[in-house]
Amino acid sequence: MKSITLPEPNVEDRLLRLQNWVRNNLLMILVIAVVLFLVLVPVTRLLITSFQIGHPAFPEGWSMENYTSAFSTPNFYETLGRTFWVAGLGTSVSLTFAVLVAWLVERTDMPFRNLAWAMVLIPMAVPNILFAMGWTLLLSPNAGALNVLLRGALDLVGIHLTKGPINIFSVGGLIFLDGIRGVTTIFLMVVGCFRMMDPTLEEAARVSGAGGVATFFKVTLPALSPAILAAGMYSFILSMESFEAALAVGLPGGVFVLSTLIYFTTRVQAPLDYGLGAVFGVVFMVIMMFLLIGYRRAVRNADRFSTITGKGFRPRIISIGKWRHPALGLFVLFFLISIVLPFSVLLWTSLMPSYRVPSFEVMHLLTLRNFIEILNDERVYNVLWNTVVLMLVTATATMVLAFFVSWMIVRGQGKGKGKGLLDALVFMPLSIPGIVIAMALLMAYLTAPLKYLGIYGTVWILVLGLCVAYLPFCTRLMNGAIVQVHKELEEAAYVSGATTFRTLIHVTFPLLFPAFAAGWIWVAVHALRSFSIPLMLAGRRNQVFAVLLWEYWEDDISLAAAMGVLLIIALIPLTLLMRRFVTQFSGQKG
């Protein structure tokens, strides 16, 4: 490369160049500013708070005290360890089940495959918190419906119990709930690999003399192991962050994990300790960051393993003979555990004046009173309004931002430092658990200077929180869509005289609209069922359905059940609609 010495430009020239540069990169500067504001400001505030003593609004000076006190509490280490092994065991449960089920549905001659698919997918519509509430009603040690049934059965064989035998308010309960919830996620991530796997790999094993079972364990599973491992890690990360089950069954049982410990420290205990909470948050964030880096590596390896050729064939179907119907039974069992049982007990409870163990004797108590009471609760209308605003604004804001961000990441000119910065910035929130995002926002908007914006305690702070949380998914969705739009379509607009902005509005956006709509619906549905962020940031004026549900749960279980029933009924069609749209536009799992 030849080096050419240019005459040293004078100040005026430089100013002109700067002006030119700003003018040409206005959109980029604006978008980076918005993303910085959304992501970096709360995280910075969290870090600051972790080094301060006293209330974040009235700090009493800098100190390492929060860190030393956190790391000298045995409870903290115990919780940290528990978070890991609960997530690990939960993921093993989901992984085993999901892989088996994916193999059955894609590679065997099991009957009613479509029905089986539906039975794995529909449980997605039940928010985690309702799933946990349902199982609390089924398995609470004293009056849990299933426990009563089990006690009855044990009575017959001469074992007399007054409690249990199963206690959901335990580590086991937590693992059970997490494990079941992870199944659908992993299933969706691995089912495609089973479908597209090159059948010649298995055929080669069969002609080499391996039997069906040997082929499955010696060839099929190892060939898919990178994909399965990646799915497992993803699910593990989600379990690490999971909050709902840990709140509903962990807290009453005194079983803490990191997310509930943060909630407890900053929202429940007296006095609240923000500094300590911030330290927990920072630790949580760092752990998640490492896990995520590991996950990215695993995914890259999975891509390198080219068992999946995408040739669009359907692999050989394996006959499982007499196991065909028992196999279907596995799906029915999953469907029962993940939706039928919890939904039934919620429905039952919602029709009772207060919780009763299901039986014919109390049938005469059946009533719609709870539903009427909900309709008469004036809070509900406020909550309804908040929820609708939250869904619409979050979906629109997140997708518009994702559209611009993705466009810049995909189409950004040349080396562009801004491009790399944006990519890293929108990826970052993936490593921040929802509960930590919420805590960081809480601290940022409770203190100067951001408290003067006055959005603390309003629905707008929830919008901010969800926006940050959903940005990584939405940008990845939009990245995939933009890559598919031929660059020359935009260039044709520029040379036709259109500005960048007009090109985006008149050419790029209309072409991306289907993907945009898919993302919009995804965000809206997730906003409706979001729980940890709204609960963490809840004030008196900004409650949404999920928060009101929790409030009901704490003082009137049958009201909560009625609310839950209404939510599930609204969510089932919305969730199915969302999946339809989202799978169309990305390899991402909704």
Q: Which residues bind another protein (CB under 8 A)?
A: 1-2, 4, 6, 9, 13, 16-17, 20, 24, 413, 415, 486, 488-489, 491-500, 502, 506-507, 510-511
User: Cis peptide leading into 449, omega within 30 of 0?
Assistant: yes
Shorter beta-carbon distance to another protein: residue 142 or 413: 413
Q: Are the CB atoms for 198 and 307 separated by under 8 Å?
A: yes
Q: Are the CB atoms for 235 and 95 separated by under 8 Å?
A: yes
CA pair distance 501, 403, nearest whole angstrom: 12
Shorter beta-carbon distance to another protein: residue 77 or 501: 501
Shorter beta-carbon distance to another protein: residue 364 or 415: 415
Shorter beta-carbon distance to another protein: residue 210 or 498: 498
Shorter beta-carbon distance to another protein: residue 16 or 333: 16
Q: Are the CB atoms for 516 and 509 separated by under 8 Å?
A: yes
In whole angstroms, the minimum distance from the beta carbon of 505 to another protein comes to 12
Shorter beta-carbon distance to another protein: residue 71 or 494: 494
Shorter beta-carbon distance to another protein: residue 1 or 156: 1
Shorter beta-carbon distance to another protein: residue 264 or 509: 509
In whole angstroms, the minimum distance from the beta carbon of 495 to another protein comes to 4
Shorter beta-carbon distance to another protein: residue 34 or 485: 485
Give the count of alpha carbons within 13 A of 185, CB side only: 21
In whole angstroms, the minimum distance from the beta carbon of 209 to another protein comes to 45
Q: Are the CB atoms for 125 and 578 separated by under 8 Å?
A: no
For 161, left (φ over 0), alpha (ψ -120 to 50), or beta? beta
Shorter beta-carbon distance to another protein: residue 1 or 207: 1
Maximum alpha-carbon separation in the chain: 99
In whole angstroms, the minimum distance from the beta carbon of 484 to another protein comes to 12
Query: Residue 565: in which H helix or E strand, if any?
Result: helix 557-585
In whole angstroms, the minimum distance from the beta carbon of 496 to another protein comes to 4
CA pair distance 514, 519, nearest whole angstrom: 9
Q: Are the CB atoms for 467 and 401 separated by under 8 Å?
A: yes
Q: Residue 308 forms beta bridges with which residues?
A: 197
Shorter beta-carbon distance to another protein: residue 4 or 270: 4
SS (H, E, C) 429-455: HHHCCHHHHHHHHHHHHHCCCHHHHCC
CA pair distance 249, 128, nearest whole angstrom: 12
How buried is residue 414: exposed, middle or buried, by Cβ count under 10 Å (0-12/13-18/19+)?
exposed
**Token pair of 532, please?**
């940890």
The residues, ordered by sequence, that sit 6+ positions from 575 with a Cβ below 8 Å of its Cβ are 124, 125, 525
The residues, ordered by sequence, that sit 6+ positions from 446 with a Cβ below 8 Å of its Cβ are 56, 57, 456
Residue recorded with tokens 């206690």: 167
In whole angstroms, the minimum distance from the beta carbon of 493 to another protein comes to 7
How many other CB atoms are found less than 10 A from the CB of residue 233? 20
Give the count of alpha carbons within 13 A of 314, CB side only: 7
Sign of the torsion angle spanned by Cα atoms 447, 453, 455, 460: negative
The counts of H helices and E strands in the chain are 28, 0
Shorter beta-carbon distance to another protein: residue 325 or 486: 486
569 phi, psi to nearest 5 deg: -60, -35
In whole angstroms, the minimum distance from the beta carbon of 397 to another protein comes to 24
